Amino acid sequence: MNPRPAPGDRPRPAPPRYAVVVPTVGRPSLRTCLTALARATEAAPPARVVVVHDRPGHDGTVPDLPVPDALRALTTVVAGPGRGPAAARNTGARLAGDAPWIVFLDDDVVPSPDWGDGLARDLAERPGDVAAVAARIDVPLPEGRPPTDAERNTAALATARWITADMAVRRAALDRVGGFDERFRRAFREDADLALRLLDDGWRLAQGTRRTAHPPRQGGRWLPVRQQAGNGDDVLMRRLHGPGWRARADAPGGRLPRHRAITAAGLAALGCALTGHRRAAAVCGALWGAGTAEFTLARVLPGPRTRTEVLDMILTSVAIPPAATWHWLRGLVVHRGALPRTPAADPAGPPTTTPTRPGTRREVTT
């Protein structure tokens, strides 16, 4: 006689066939990511794992990567094209076999111990018009002190909607919209672009239950300045999806208008000083100083206010506004003729849905 299931027990759904694609630049975090993936999927391993090393040697070879023994027989390691994570993910997707789902993981995330069971629940019996299922991202922050500026920036991923740190995408949907747009060369906005194209093609997006940790990024003092390159990607998003793209993608606006104003004030102060207009130079310089001070305080006050953190915030708060403005201007030039991609003309699209019109809110299931 079979025992009755205990009250509250949830039957484990049949695991779907899926492949995993991990783009990497060879960071040490890859070992932690793959080790956690192996442990989490021991009961129902993926059909294939494709690791795309996007910084191959000059001869196209890749170094020996730390693939756990449990995944070695399932894993293919290939050289990426060196054009950023969007192109690397497309390379991995082409080699991922015929599994109906592809799970994209970043090389710096850590799947939870029950990630495999959560993925099975997330994908089991999904309607055919659900194109993607996002994981829930946890960002472990230090206890006993306020988070630093870098830690707060990473913590924002916990509330972001459609980041490919851990995103399961239906192969038919990915093929239908042509994969990731390789014009996005950084790990920024390529996921939001894919989500909006899927919605516009009539697919739905879902929020899953599996959990994945994303430790705070470590990139040194000047990482916030380098990240301002994303302002050029925002220009491309506007070209492709219209002025309402932020609302549709749940992407809050940043401080670019203030950065442009601060940069303009600084340039005006310099120009006036060089041409002998001292009073105008003083006024513009005061405006630049006030804007820079406000920006610095906005970053210092929520943090731990250590000597190193305060110094980093002062230096980078001076550098960020002109860097942001430069990348925005460069984006206007580089992407001035950018055109939206169109879905493939094949029957792989969602069977009974109506495309979302630009400017409308997305439809999300759980």
Q: Is the pLDDT of residue 210 over 70?
A: yes
Local confidence band at 61 (pLDDT 50, 70, 90 cut-offs)? confident
* Residue 12: per-residue pLDDT: 61
Residue 22 pairs in a beta bridge with: 51
Confidence of residue 15 (pLDDT cuts 50, 70, 90): low
Instruction: Please tell me which residue, 41 or 351, carries the higher pLDDT value.
Output: 41
Q: How far apart are CA 193 and CA 52, in angstroms?
A: 21
Q: How confident is the model at residue 357 (pLDDT cuts 50, 70, 90)?
A: very low
User: Mind listing the pLDDT tens digit for each residue in 170-201?
Assistant: 999 999 999 999 999 999 999 999 999 999 99
Q: What are the tens digits of pLDDT across the range 296-306?
A: 999 999 999 99
Question: What's the length of the chain?
Answer: 366
The pTM assigned to this predicted structure is 0.87
Dist CA 39 CA 58 (whole Å): 34
For the record, the structure tokens of 356 come out as 């979302």
Task: Look up residue 211 and give its two tokens.
Answer: 């959990």
Query: How does residue 53 score in pLDDT terms, banded at 50, 70 and 90?
Result: very high
Q: Which residues pair with 49 in a beta bridge?
A: 20, 75
Is residue 228 predicted with pLDDT exceeding 80?
yes
Q: Using one digit for the tens of pLDDT, what is the confidence trace for 255-274?
A: 999 999 999 999 999 999 99
C-alpha separations of 353 from 123, 241, 340, 356, 358 in Å: 19, 20, 21, 9, 15
Strand ranges (DSSP E) for the chain? 18-24, 48-53, 75-79, 101-105, 110-111, 130-138, 166-170, 204-213, 364-365
Mean pLDDT value across the chain: 89
pLDDT tops 50 at residue 361: no
Residues linked to residue 103 through DSSP beta bridges, in sequence order: 20, 168
Over 70: is that where the pLDDT of 116 sits? yes
Sorted by where each starts, the structural domains of the chain and their CATH numbers stand as 18-219+342-365 (3.90.550.10)
Per residue in 122-165, pLDDT (tens digit) is 999 788 899 999 999 999 999 999 999 999 999 988 888 788 89
Higher pLDDT, 123 or 8: 123
pLDDT for residue 20: 98
- Location of structure tokens 């894919």: 194
Distance CA 211, CA 117 (A): 10
pLDDT exceeds 70 at position 222:
yes
Phi and psi based region of residue 202 (left: phi greater than 0; alpha: psi -120 to 50; beta: remaining): left
Nearest to 325 by CA among 245, 226, 232: 232
Q: Percentage of residues in the chain with pLDDT exceeding 90? A: 75
343: its two tokens:
């879905």
Q: Is 94 helix (H, G, I), strand (E, B) or coil?
A: helix
Nearest to 313 by CA among 289, 292, 285: 292
List Cα–Cα distances, 318 to 51, 178, 291, 326, in angstroms. Answer: 39, 40, 10, 14
Where helices occur in 203-336 by DSSP H, the ranges are 223-226, 230-241, 245-249, 256-274, 278-300, 307-334
Please determine, for residue 351, whether its predicted confidence score (pLDDT) is greater than 80: no
With cut-offs at 50, 70 and 90, classify the pLDDT of residue 360.
Answer: very low
